[in-house]
């Protein structure tokens, strides 16, 4: 393939709008810029500021908080002198032993497994592209992220915890553990990481395209 001569106009490949199917060319995007459809103004592509380092740092921090949230106690329930220490994984186990197996599986998938897989896949892809390392199944890991996103419901789990706090406040003494603060931080950081994560740019970089 011949290299583009210096001074020659940039010719981007044709891209179909996902809303109106209009074919158009997306130019090279500077950091912080976004390209929209010239017909319906739908967002076609964006280049978040901070490059790859920003989502890489956010996902790495989210991974650390995910580990802390699952290692330390989530809360301690004290009733009539007896203490019951609860963890996120322990919540799923309690539901399972109470005969609510389906709900236990949903809690485990949405609050532990799916977030762990998304963070791991994102870090795997970002590290491979950022340091130009040829790793196996990078494209598969990138495709998994879009399939796993609907299963991440950290905010729903947190809402359930708040409801439980309100209902149990008059029945027992509740002591918040370090895991709860880590979990709140995980929700914030994972949201920020996904906002700085642009799959379309990563797909194009994997295909050998370069964006400034």
Q: In sequence order, what DSSP letters do the residues of 78-144 get, joined into one string?
A: EETTEEEEE-HHHHHHHHHHTT-HHHHHHHHIIIIIHHHHHHHHHHHHHHHHHTT---TTHHHHHHH
- pLDDT above 90 for 33: no
**pLDDT at site 32:** 64
- Regarding predicted confidence, which is higher, 159 or 81? 159
| Count of beta carbons in the 10 Å neighbourhood of residue 168 | 14
Residues 142 and 83 grouped into a single domain: yes
Residues 77 and 131 grouped into a single domain: yes
In a domain, 67, yes or no: yes
**pLDDT at site 158:** 78
Residues 41 and 140 grouped into a single domain: no
- pLDDT above 90 for 207: no
**pLDDT at site 210:** 46
Q: Tell me the average pLDDT of the chain.
A: 79
Residues 36 and 60 grouped into a single domain: no
pLDDT tens-digit series, residues 132-153: 888 899 999 999 998 888 888 8
For the ranges 115-119, 151-155, 179-183, the maximum mean pLDDT occurs at 115-119
Q: Tally the domains of the chain.
A: 2
In a domain, 180, yes or no: yes
Give the 3-state secondary structure percentages of the chain, helix then strand then coil, rounded to 5: 55, 15, 35
In a domain, 9, yes or no: no
Residue 56 backbone dihedrals phi, psi, to 5 degrees:
-65, -45
Residues 88 and 132 grouped into a single domain: yes
Residue 93 backbone dihedrals phi, psi, to 5 degrees:
-65, -40
202: CB partners within 8 A, 6+ apart: 125, 126, 129, 142
Residues 88 and 167 grouped into a single domain: yes
pLDDT tens-digit series, residues 46-105: 767 667 899 999 999 999 999 999 988 887 766 666 667 778 888 788 778 888 888 888
What pTM was computed for the model? 0.76
Distances (CA, A) of 199 to 28, 124, 134, 144, 194: 16, 13, 18, 11, 10
What are the residues facing 16 on neighbouring strands? Answer: 23
**pLDDT at site 160:** 72
Residues 104 and 165 grouped into a single domain: yes
In a domain, 57, yes or no: yes
In a domain, 80, yes or no: yes
**pLDDT at site 74:** 81
In a domain, 211, yes or no: no
Q: If we measure between CA atoms, which residue out of 160, 168, 174 comes closest to residue 92?
A: 160
Residues 97 and 35 grouped into a single domain: no
In a domain, 195, yes or no: yes
Host domain of residue 114: 53-206
**pLDDT at site 13:** 62
In a domain, 139, yes or no: yes
Phi/psi region, residue 177 (left: phi>0; alpha: psi -120 to 50; beta: rest), is beta
Q: Which residues of 39-63 are buried (b: 16+ CB within 10 A; e: fewer)?
A: eeeeebbebbeeebebbbebbbbbb
Residues 66 and 150 grouped into a single domain: yes
- Rounded to an integer, what distance in angstroms lies between the CA atom of residue 67 and that of residue 183? 10
Q: Which residue has the tokens 């929700």?
A: 187
Residues 73 and 172 grouped into a single domain: yes
Residues above pLDDT 90, as percent of the chain? 27
Q: What is the mean pLDDT of residues 105-118?
A: 91
Residues 151 and 84 grouped into a single domain: yes
Residues 66 and 163 grouped into a single domain: yes
């Amino acid at each position: 393939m011949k290299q583009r001569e210096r001074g020659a106009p940039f010719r981007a490949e044709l891209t179909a709008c996902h809303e109106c199917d209009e074919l158009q060319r997306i130019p090279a995007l500077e950091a912080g810029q976004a390209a929209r459809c010239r017909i319906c103004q739908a967002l076609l592509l964006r280049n978040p500021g901070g490059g790859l380092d920003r989502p890489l740092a956010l996902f790495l921090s989210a991974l650390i908080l995910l580990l802390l949230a699952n290692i330390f106690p989530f809360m301690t329930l004290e009733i009539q002198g007896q203490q019951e220490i609860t963890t996120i994984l322990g919540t799923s186990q309690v539901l399972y032993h109470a005969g609510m197996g389906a709900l236990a599986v949903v809690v485990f998938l949405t609050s532990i497994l799916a977030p762990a897989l998304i963070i791991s896949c994102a870090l795997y892809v970002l590290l491979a592209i950022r340091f130009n390392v040829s790793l196996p199944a990078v494209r598969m890991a990138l495709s998994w992220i879009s399939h796993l996103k609907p299963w991440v419901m950290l905010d729903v789990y947190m809402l359930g915890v708040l409801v439980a706090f309100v209902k149990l406040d008059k029945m027992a003494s509740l002591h918040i553990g370090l895991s709860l603060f880590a979990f709140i931080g995980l929700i914030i950081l994972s949201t920020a990481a996904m906002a700085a994560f642009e799959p379309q740019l990563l797909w194009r970089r994997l295909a050998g395209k370069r964006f400034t």
